[in-house]
């Protein structure tokens, strides 16, 4: 158990709908990351938050948005869903970094999203 909690574990929804994925980071971690993993694909970085503020942005679609709340949990909102959005969405967290990089990133179990 990495200590990163994600809900829901599985989700099936129809095209055009909107879903929200939730993540609770490890205790004490300030950074939250979202990654998308499609079938037979690698891990695509979507977005990072640090202590409530957006820190880095990857290939996140405009239909997707995220936020990190004061209690440090994060939500990833996916709207106008398309079949191609079906994927495993991982949340990850890492310990506070004074500056720079190099802190271990711990992944949650992921949320399986199936768009039908």
Partner 1 sequence: GENVEQHPSTLSVQEGDSAVIKCTYSDSASNYFPWYKQELGKRPQLIIDIRSNVGEKKDQRIAVTLNKTAKHFSLHITETQPEDSAVYFCAACPTGGGNKLTFGTGTQLKVEL
Task: Report the interface residues with partner 1, using CB under 8 A.
Answer: 2, 31, 33, 42-43, 45, 48, 50, 55-56, 58, 88, 90, 94, 97, 99-110
In the complex, least distance from residue 107 CB atom to partner 1, rounded to whole angstroms: 4
Report the C-alpha gap between 101 and 84 in whole angstroms.
32
When the beta carbons of 18 and 57 are compared against partner 1, the nearer one is 57
When the beta carbons of 68 and 94 are compared against partner 1, the nearer one is 94
Question: How many C-beta atoms lie closer than 10 Å to residue 112's C-beta?
Answer: 15
Burial of residue 43 (number of CB atoms within 10 Å: 0-12, 13-18, 19+): middle
């Amino acid at each position: 158990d990495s200590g990163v909690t994600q809900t829901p574990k599985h989700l099936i929804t129809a095209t055009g709908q909107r879903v929200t994925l939730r993540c609770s980071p490890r205790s004490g971690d300030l950074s939250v990351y979202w990654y998308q993993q499609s079938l037979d694909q690698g891990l695509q970085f979507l977005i990072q938050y640090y202590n409530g503020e957006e820190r880095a942005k990857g290939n996140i679609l405009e239909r997707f948005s995220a936020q990190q709340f004061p209690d440090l949990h994060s939500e990833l909102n996916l709207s106008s869903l398309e079949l191609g959005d079906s994927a495993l969405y991982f949340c990850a967290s890492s310990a506070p970094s004074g500056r720079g990089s190099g802190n271990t990133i711990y992944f949650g179990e992921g949320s399986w999203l199936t768009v039908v």
